[in-house]
Structure 1
Amino acid sequence: MPHRKPIPGTALLRLSLVAVLPVAWSLVAQPIPLTAPWILVLHWAVILCAVILLARQAWLAGQGMARRPAPNARPAPMFGSSPRRGDGWRLAWPSGRDARHNEGVERFFQQRPEVTVILDATGRISRANAAFRKLVGLSERELVGLRFDEIEALEGASDYGYWDEARASVDLGKTWSRQTWGQREDGSLFPEQVVVRPLHDARGVLSGYSFAAFDVSDLVMTEKELERSALQDPLTGLFNRRYLEAEAELAIERCRVAGRKLGLLLLDLDDFKSLNDRRGHQFGDDVLSHVAETLRGIVPLGDIISRLGGDEFVIVAEDVASPAAVHALAEEIRGALSLPFAIQDETLRLTVSVGASLFPEDGVHFDALLGRADAAMYQCKQHGRNRVSLFAAARAALDRPTTAEAHAADLDEALRDDCFLPYYQPIVDLGSRQMIGAEALCRWQHPRHGLLLPAAFIPTAEARGVIRDIDRVIIRKACAQMAEWRDRSRGRLPISVNVSAPTMTEPGFVRFLSDCCDESGVAPEELVVELTESMLLLADDPGRRSLSRLRELGVRIALDDFGTGFSTLSLLKDLPVTRLKIDRSFVTHIDTNRRDREIVSSIVSLGHALGADVVVEGVETESQADMIADIGDTIAQGYLFGKPMPAAELAACAAWDWNVVPSNV
């Protein structure tokens, strides 16, 4: 049988009035003795209706829905209907709307997922919702009148153990809140926020408490994520500068107390900006992530690894034995990052410059140590990159001016007095041991300090903006020398010339080279322009367009130091490269290191597959030459066949065949 809702009190009152009023009117119009039978029946019917209404009101009062407070009294939240005006407590006749409202409030209270309990002024439970009843395994009837410490299921629960402290705070009129640990049905713990609020009567007197416990697992996880993101680099997962500064100072203090040394290493990837601009930011991000993973695999557990920003990383190594130990760690990192690795189906090799400083010798605070490491790293960049420098050694180097710095003011005078000249190093076919070309290398014949090598003045020349003039001098002299050899019936010998990035991007460079060939009568096919990999990374730059125009002219293009920069297959595919020059770092141990032999063999096969010849640089021993010759059709250059020498000395080497010109032009 379906449940029927009880008739509201106002409806019963209306029915009673409908029944009584006609009778009362008839009695007034025609008086009848009160002892009449039907009058007695009506009398008892009215009494019965009153009893029914009183019984219904008492039942509603037991459900907390019909109690009415004294004047201006405010009921406890979620219980009872709104108060009516009147003196003292009285019976109320709730309408159908009030009853529906009370039922909704009751459902809301019972269905709240958070544990919610109403307690009286003595701290005893008067109401408890379904979530709390399920937690303790008791019905509401069993819970009413109990204190928290009297419920066996709550023994050892930390969130209810704070009740006395919470009650003391709430008694002062404050809302008490604390995050603690709750326990689920399966026994697992979770973060929980407990809130206790006071309940007051109409006079403002404390009449009870509301206790609520919320599961805040999601909020705590969000806070932890925000905290982690504030301390970590989002790309690599390494600590950021904010964390680095705080933890480094703590590490320094630990070392100060224990009397130990601390090393700080600053790493900067060489030519990373060029790679990022050419291949895109996603490719650059993948490279940075690879660097982070490599560092995690090398740096001892407990030491700090941080991404300072861009392509710079910092390592703080505690309890290092000596400067040599810091230098060894830096060299290990540099060697690991130089190994080939694949990103987006392309193989790369990175080079890195590492500057290092030590506590307490180079500074006693993080900022000072970082500044010293940065100065040491700058020295690495100045001396050719891809190296390690400690601040002590860098400071000594700074105290000793380099030859170029000491004579920087002499550069303009050297150009005016024609002091720059080419020295020639033979390029030899390993199969026949015949010279098939030479590389023109710049030298500065200083009037007071003798012959200076490029490392002593090229960086300064680039900084002072005179490198273009030096390049033009060497190219013009090389072309003139080739014409002289031809006129003396020495034959045709291709010459390679090194060209800097400022010269290659100069708008008039291709026209200058063409005019040099015309003036000297040298065929453009006899010239080879050598460029480093880093110069070719920028797409759509003037240097790229100059390369295409040089190939159209007939000049060949060689990629120098191949394998040490950001070489990719797309680089070889897109550029008009006709020669690859394998860096000497792969040759030094080629007769004992199987990996070096495999790398050289792979590059030789790759070059031949692309229609380019391959020159192996740095060949100094016969065993190296034999090992390279066994790989295949290769060309070599190195001290085994001759050091860079003046043109007259090269011409005196009559044992070589001067009439061989490579065919891949």
Structure 2
Amino acid sequence: MMFDFLVLTAEEGAEMTMVNLEVFQFPSNNLNKQLANVAMNYVNEAIMITNKHNQIMYVNNKFEQITGYTFREVRGKTPKTLQSGIQGLSFYEKMKRIVKNTGKWQGEIWNRTKNGEIYLQSLSIIAVKNTFDQIEHFIGIFSDLFHNKSIENEYLHQTHYFDRLTTLPNRALFEKRVVSSLKLSEQTNENFAIIFFQLDNFTSVNEKYGYIYGDILLKRIALRLNSHLPEHSMVTRWNGTEFTSIIESISNEEEVIHHINQLQRQISTPVLVNGIEVCLQANFGICMYRKDGKTVSDLLSKANTALEIARREKKPYLFYHPKMGKPNNFFIMELELKKAIKEEQFELYYQPLISVSSSKLVGFEALIRWNHPTEGLISPVKFIPLAEQTGLIQDIGNIVFKKACMQLRKWKDKGFNNINISVNISMNQFRNQLLVENIREILQETNVNPYDIGIELTESSLIDNMEETTLKLHELKNLGLSIAIDDFGTGYSSLGYLIDFPIQRIKIDRTFTKVIGKNEKIKAIVSAINTMAETMDIEVVAEGIETEEQFYLMQKLNCNVVQGFLFDKPLPIEEVERKWLIFRE
């Protein structure tokens, strides 16, 4: 009698472990089964085999080590047992379609261990078919990226999801854990608590003993906190001396208070560093799932509000109460902005640029709007400053540039030619070392002509490091992009950088336009700018044109291009096409 047996062999490559699957036929005897089982248990990846109904039939030792589940606990169950809740139903439906159509799937996925920890998993799924080309089994091969020793994963581990100083999980991983807890609580009907806490008077410790001492102290405290956590809980460093914790499967507030007392005990126990003993205290703010909120942003913001009041009133801890008032709007918006980036809730509106000499359309400026699911369209004035402060502007900037390029590609494909789109680049975005590479990749991906794309920079973006700025601007120009200085005359205006920098366009700020008919000095400044620009072969755009008088004056002063509500406000794509492109063609 012959027996089909699955044999997995691991080959170490330079960058990752590749697992090859082969089907051999062996005589059905116990020795060969034992040999295969030993081999499977010494492979450095977790292995899970299911039947065609996705019920688990086999797992190896590495599976048990990573997930915390024994074979007895998962036998006959589906891999849903491992799901974190972070990926939505559409993710798994797409995965199933790919496996069905191609026989395999490979990617990264967030899963959850038996004790509640979430982790990033590198997963390969293989469909095993019989001689009739029907799927009989599925094989899942995965590894825990958080505990992979490769250089790339160590960088991922340290940079993206874990705090570099304390090695505790960071806020990004904590937010994912809260999402996972929400999904789990919806299924089990259990409650959980979010806790924000902050070390008290830590600034005085830094001032007295120095920042190196303070860093060592934070590491010691973090190690204590992480070493005394109960199951189904997590502690993270949110920022500075502020930490967060989540505790699941709780029945009442007394259990939460017990958890807080444990945290406080670890913090307040004296710490000895370099012969100096320090005692610390902390204040805690708590928010309860269901009672106080049912969304990530709601729960986090209310716990943060409770902490702020506990600190102000010098209370050891406070549970959130509606009488505390509305949660911190800044805090909520930051969380919602992260969600908006993930879900790409941003839209671009386009304002026409008009040639002064011909009164014809020459291009558009792309302007971002946040299409909030409940608040509707939000002006960039309300969220861009926050994005700058939190570093989220990098992701938003990439989204804007890519959307503008994709839209330009669509318009070109529709036959709308001779269109130029200008995109704003913020100061923090310009300072990003990866800016040029990001733009190059987007241009290649969208297959647009870079000569049809312009970037607009404020004067303040250019003054930090003249040598580095000059180099970066020339790199951008070499890609084919045109470069404009936005809000010219309002910042650190310098004739020198107009000579050194490869600038093709300057935009006169709307504050000049607004008073040009009433102020002779402003009129003289604009005239001088135009004369200088013409000599240097730089195009001049006047922003904020709202009246015929302003347009006439800018025309008289030899501006090349105008922009403003006199011609049109920023418009969504459909209106741009209807009012400007179809009519133009």
TM-score normalised over the length of structure 1: 0.38
Question: Taking CA–CA contacts closer than 8 Å with sequence separation of 6 or more, which of the two structures ends up with the larger relative contact order?
Answer: 1
Q: Quick check: which has more Rg, 1 or 2? A: 1
TM-score normalised over the length of structure 2: 0.43
Instruction: Report the structure, 1 or 2, having the larger strand content.
Output: 2
